[in-house]
Structure 1
Amino acid sequence: MARTARKYAKGASKDVERAMKKRKAGTLKSGGPGRKVKSRKQAIAIGLSEARREGKKVPARKSAKSSAKKSAKKSSKSASKTSTKKTTKKTTKKKSSKKN
């Protein structure tokens, strides 16, 4: 049985664990103004970003840019499918027959 490599370093999981404990204690702060972190997901993100800054093995962040490209691609595909079904309307000119 082959062992698979770890995606996250052990030190990275320690950083996340520390961030989670700080959040639970109510001392984890975020951003410039230093607002308290209430979200579990935000606490994990803070722990992972700190681990990245320290150079620990952590997978790269999923960028918003790539997810926006994917959604734009999907919407353009669906738009192109609907635009090909154009109905053409034949216009016939009625001859006006004026009786003198």
Structure 2
Amino acid sequence: MMPKSGESKDDTVERVMHAHKEGDLKSSHGDKVKSRKQAVAIALSESRQSKSKDKT
């Protein structure tokens, strides 16, 4: 999952955590994410990516 343009950090985290809860979240290797900690790490990483894209 990639961050959507114009999406705030909170929206990104909410979207990723919802995908995790539904069982749709996958890691970069394509495996399903089972750990909540891993889902949080992905959400924070994506929110940082969207932040850096907004500045450029």
| TM-score scaled by length of structure 1 | 0.41
Aligned length: 45
1:22 aligns with 2:14: no
What is the match of residue 37 of structure 1?
33
Structure with a larger share of its residues in helix: 2
CA RMSD of aligned residues (A): 1.3
Highest CA radius of gyration, 1 or 2?
A: 1
- 4+ runs deviating over 3 angstroms: none
Letter in 2 for 1:12: K
Structure showing greater relative contact order (alpha-carbon pairs closer than 8 Å, 6 or more residues apart) = 2
1:47 aligns with 2:35: no
Question: Where does structure 1 lack aligned partners over 5 or more consecutive residues?
Answer: 1-10, 57-100
Tell me if structure 2 keeps the 8 A contact 1:16–1:43: no
Question: Where does structure 2 lack aligned partners over 5 or more consecutive residues?
Answer: 1-7
